[in-house]
Amino acid sequence: MLGDFRLYFRYIGISVRSQMQYRWSFIMMTIGHFLTTGIEFVGIWILFQRFGNIRGWSLAEVALCYGIVNIAFSISDATTRGFDMFHIMVKGGEFDRLLLRPRSTALQVAGQELTMRRIGRLTQGLIVLLWSAHTLGIVWSPAKVALTGAAALGGACLFCGLFVLQATLAFWTVETLEIVNTVTYGGVETAQFPLSIYRPWLRRFFTGVIPLATVSYFPALAILGRGAGSAVPPALQWGAPLAGFAFLLAALQVWKFGVRHYTSTGS
Amino acid sequence: MTPYWAILSARFRMLLQYRAAAAAGFGTQLFWGLIRVMIFEAFYRSTTSAQPMSYQEVVTYIWLGQALLALLPWNYDRDIHALVRSGNVAYELLRPLDLYWHWYARAVAWRVAPAVLRALPMFIVAGLFFGLQAPVSWASFGAWLIALVGALLLSAAITTLVNISLMWTIAGDGIATLVSTLVIILSGMVVPLPFFPDWAQSILNFLPFRGLVDVPFRLYMGHLPPGDIYGLFAHQLGWTLALVAVSHHVLGRGTRRLVVQGG
Amino acid sequence: MPQIVVDDLVKTFRVAERQPGLWGAARGLLKRRHRTVEALAGVSFGIETGELVGYIGPNGAGKSTTVKVLAGILVPDSGRCEVLGRVPWRERVANAREIGVVFGQRTQLWWDLPVIESFELLRDIYRVSPQAHLRSRDELVDMLDMEPLLDVPVRQLSLGQRMRCDLAAALLHSPPVLYLDEPTIGLDAVSKLAVRDFVRQLNRERGVTIILTTHDMDDIEALCTRIIVINEGHILSDGTLNDLRARVTTERWLIVDLAEEDGDVADPQATVISREGHRVCLRFDPDEVSAAELIGRITAGHAIRDLFVENPPIEEIIARLYGEQCR
């Protein structure tokens, strides 16, 4: 296990160094990424200056959800590039090379790349989060700080799990990968707003099937102190981010199943 | 004309091969549309003040957007990017076609084929189940069709310019990402342009991007009167010509650079 | 028991068929045809420790399928396979530690890294101790004469240099078994010789068991003590080069360099294959006419500058073997 971590950081070190060889490209991409996600937030701001609030949530309150989910997504987006591009590895036969090595395949795929330019979205998410906290005057108890961190990390794990599932799908077909975007990018889009604004079926989907609510909406209720009147019990508001970690573990089991399928069909 | 027709046909064939991809793409688009409709629904239920568009209009607008998303210059051509990266772009110069128009034709094909394949089912499904309304009149419908052609020509011109910018590989990726984001927000894809602050309206009306989404969509629902089509189409065409001229010039410089560097 | 056992392996693939044209593509939306391809149709062989086996066959014959099964990255439909007493696909990780694999067409080195750093990463991947790694690395660097290459990023290496580095990379963890897939493809003559010398040395001095798949018959002739020929999933022949020759044909070739140009050499018991300037090449069956007899007759009728008897080239043998199966 320890050796695995060591190897992972070796991989990452290499990936970072080779990205730094193309320094200008990296800088441009990071800025591009920062502005791109920034513009998304402008879209939300435009709507708020016309409508004022959304179901009683102010822009600053929505910004907390937005910040958490974007931080989470940027972390997963940076760490799972290997899984995101995995269908290319399968198609090109490079996955065979990983199978020829005496290490777990998930570790090797994860080690392919740490996409540094995702710092753009991460920074943007952090800025929005801090702006929200500042505007709302949130009193940061250690518990709230921990909950925010857990929500972001749990969310990152959740999205990582989704990317792992997407990669697993590539063992069967490379055509339907886009469907996973509905829950990754679509999930980000959804979770930028409090889940309570959506219709029940979507709420249930992002709570029960893809537990996205557990890493954004539920903890946001607790952090904002809106939880008291809510139907969501306090234990769930505080404990929910664990679901994100569980989701990743489950996804890795499915991945193993996919690898077994791959080695039996060779396609 | 024949080589350009071949490019379009090849693109259709390629897309048709991937039926599962088409289904997956459709499902994704539908899901996104539903989320956006729900967000607007929540907003409309949260306010009593007058809005620049009615809720029904916004719903139609969203579904038009989902149906015609592929028409937007929202991504660059990965094949051309790969050509540039590998240096094989020099071989493109060997073809007996004008490089700009070859790439432009590719861009048209790149936009038309997926848009046609996805728009039809989306119109049917969203029209039957999710509140996409028919055009308000035949005149609006006609104006919409003309504006769609204008949007396509404009979209292909922007796509080609982005593709050409990839020749400056160092910054190309970043620029391409940024341009596509600008396109998506300034065209009115994310938020319909009438919702933008009033001070921004005249700028938005001047920029080329409204010709991609705002103009055709609002013509469709009669939010812009069909009689405006002459001026609006001229706006689309004018920008298209300007972009073509600029791109032609930039491409010339890019290829000269390649030749000097020896590819 | 042999080090590598392959017993009655069967593997079939299902491939989708695409119809041509726009109309075909549209029809493909609704209905897709599949066809079954039998990549391995009952393949059996055993390989002893220290053997150097050439595994040859045309494209799509089942070579790489076999190698994938042996490497543990493909599970066969049926049959038995053991490498060092392990079933490769059941114990992929343990098996991977005992084998080295080189694909001539692609590198396992990290494109942007200096060679030496790829080696260090491989050391960590294979959990080789630093001392053992250094020992192994220095020895390989010495054998392959690649000291000057170590600090060069892989993308800057020539194909020949890269192949030497890839060979070293596959052997850093000192595997007792090595699979080489087309190791000389695309290499220049000097690099080819270097690779061959290295492979021979590895096999003779270190006793590494090697399975070599290649299309280059010079590789086979130069290296292999045993040749397995596969086509369409069946093993056509398994034995030494001489066995293979004897199986396919007993014929020998007589090559004659005449004093005059375009001399009219003919003999009732031999066939002329080619005539080029002073050189004439004849084919004969030693069971029918002895070489001495034939040479005697020809030297009697013509002024000869030089002459020699040889075996038909291995390409010829293999081509006939495939042809025989088709018939």
In the predicted model, what is the mean pLDDT of residues A100-128?
A: 92
Share of chain B above pLDDT 70, in %: 92
Q: Do A51 and B178 touch (CB under 8 A)?
A: no
Nearest CA in chain B to A59: B43
Q: Which residue has the higher pLDDT, B165 or B263?
A: B165
Nearest CA in chain B to A179: B24
**SS3 (DSSP) at C247:** helix
Q: Which residue has the higher pLDDT, A207 or B178?
A: A207
How does DSSP assign A129-158, residue by residue?
HHHHHHHHT----HHHHHHHHHHHHHHHHH
Report the neighbours of B using a cutoff of 3 or more CB pairs below 8 angstroms: A, C
Q: Which of A256, A260, A262, A253 minimizes the C-alpha distance to A90?
A: A262
Q: How many domains does chain A have?
A: 1
CB pairs under 8 A between A and B: 111
> In angstroms, what separates the C-alpha of A4 from chain B's closest C-alpha?
33
pLDDT tens profile B123-159: 999 999 999 999 999 999 999 999 999 999 999 999 9
Q: Which of C171, C222, C172, C176 minimizes the C-alpha distance to C196?
A: C222
Highest mean pLDDT among A23-27, B6-10, B82-86, C240-244: C240-244
Identify all chain A residues contacting B28, using CB atoms and an 8 Å cutoff. Answer: 178-179, 181-182, 186
A69-83, A252-266, B184-198, C305-319: range with lowest mean pLDDT: C305-319
pLDDT at residue B260 above 60?
no
Domain ranges of chain C: 4-246, 250-311
A173, A181, A193: residue with CB nearest B39: A193
> In angstroms, what separates the C-alpha of A122 from chain B's closest C-alpha?
17
C11, C73, C111: residue with CB nearest A100: C73
- Confidence category of residue B258, pLDDT binned at 50, 70, 90: low
B1 touches chain A (CB under 8 A): no
Alpha helices in C145-270 (DSSP H): 159-171, 189-206, 217-223, 241-248
Identify all chain B residues contacting C23, using CB atoms and an 8 Å cutoff. Answer: none
pLDDT at residue B262 above 50?
no
Q: Which of B5, B16, B18, B86 should we substitute to test contact with C (largest number of C Cβ atoms within 10 Å)?
A: B16
Which residues, other chains included, contact C182 with Cβ-Cβ below 8 Å and sequence gap of 6+?
Answer: C103, C104, C105, C213, C214, C215, C216
Identify all chain C residues contacting B16, using CB atoms and an 8 Å cutoff. Answer: 22, 25-26, 28-29
Q: Rounded to an integer, what distance in angstroms lies between the CA atom of residue B184 and that of residue A40?
A: 10
Q: Which of C259, C256, C296, C260 minimizes the C-alpha distance to C279?
A: C256
Identify all chain C residues contacting B13, using CB atoms and an 8 Å cutoff. Answer: 21-22, 25
A92-101, B167-176, C113-122: range with lowest mean pLDDT: B167-176
C185 touches chain A (CB under 8 A): no
Identify all chain B residues contacting A199, using CB atoms and an 8 Å cutoff. Answer: 38
Q: Rounded to an integer, what distance in angstroms lies between the CA atom of residue B119 and that of residue B205?
A: 26
Q: Do C73 and A18 touch (CB under 8 A)?
A: no
Contact present, C126 and A102 (Cβ < 8 Å): yes
Q: Do B16 and C21 touch (CB under 8 A)?
A: no
Q: Do A186 and B197 touch (CB under 8 A)?
A: no
In the predicted model, what is the mean pLDDT of residues B67-90?
A: 78
The residue type found at B109 is A
> In angstroms, what separates the C-alpha of A167 from chain B's closest C-alpha?
15
Domain housing A165: 2-265
How does DSSP assign C113-151, residue by residue?
SBHHHHHHHHHHHTT--HHHHHHHHHHHHHHHT-GGGTT
A118-132, B123-137, B159-173: range with lowest mean pLDDT: B159-173
Cα-based angle B145, B147, B152 (whole degrees, multiple of 5): 95
pLDDT tens profile C254-313: 888 888 776 677 788 888 888 888 888 888 888 888 888 888 888 888 888 888 888 887
Q: Which residues pair with C13 in a beta bridge?
A: C37
B9, B12, B17: residue with CB nearest C28: B17
A18-27, A55-64, B77-86, C51-60: range with lowest mean pLDDT: B77-86
Cα-based angle A185, A189, A195 (whole degrees, multiple of 5): 130
> In angstroms, what separates the C-alpha of B97 from chain A's closest C-alpha?
31
pLDDT at residue B263 above 60?
no
* pLDDT confidence of residue C20: 63
- Confidence category of residue A33, pLDDT binned at 50, 70, 90: confident
In the predicted model, what is the mean pLDDT of residues C88-95?
A: 92
Q: Which residue has the higher pLDDT, A203 or A180?
A: A203
Helices C241-248 and C314-326 pack at an angle, to 10 degrees, of 50
Confirm or reject CATH 1.10.3470 for domain C250-311, answering yes or no. Answer: no
pLDDT tens profile C95-150: 999 999 998 888 899 888 899 999 999 999 999 999 999 999 999 999 999 999 99
Which residue bears the tokens 């492979």?
C199
Please report which helix (H) or strand (E) contains residue A34, including its range.
Answer: helix A23-51
In the predicted model, what is the mean pLDDT of residues A226-242?
A: 82
Q: Rounded to an integer, what distance in angstroms lies between the CA atom of residue B69 and that of residue B74?
A: 8
B24 touches chain A (CB under 8 A): yes
pLDDT at residue A178 above 60?
yes
Which residue bears the tokens 């728009």?
B119
* pLDDT confidence of residue C84: 95
Which residues, other chains included, contact A121 with Cβ-Cβ below 8 Å and sequence gap of 6+?
Answer: A33, A34, A36, A37, A70, A73, A74, A77
- Confidence category of residue C166, pLDDT binned at 50, 70, 90: very high
What is the ipTM metric for this complex? Answer: 0.90
Identify all chain A residues contacting C83, using CB atoms and an 8 Å cutoff. Answer: none
Residue-wise burial string across C147-170, b where 16 or more C-beta atoms lie within 10 A, e elsewhere: eebbebbbeebeebbbbbbbbbbb
> In angstroms, what separates the C-alpha of A108 from chain C's closest C-alpha?
9
How does DSSP assign C8-34, residue by residue?
EEEEEEEEEEPPPHHHHHHHHHH--EE
pLDDT at residue A45 above 60?
yes
B183: exposed, middle or buried (C-beta count within 10 Å: 0-12, 13-18, 19+)? Answer: buried
The residue type found at A38 is G
Confirm or reject CATH 3.40.50.300 for domain C4-246, answering yes or no. Answer: yes
B25, B27, B178: residue with CB nearest A36: B178
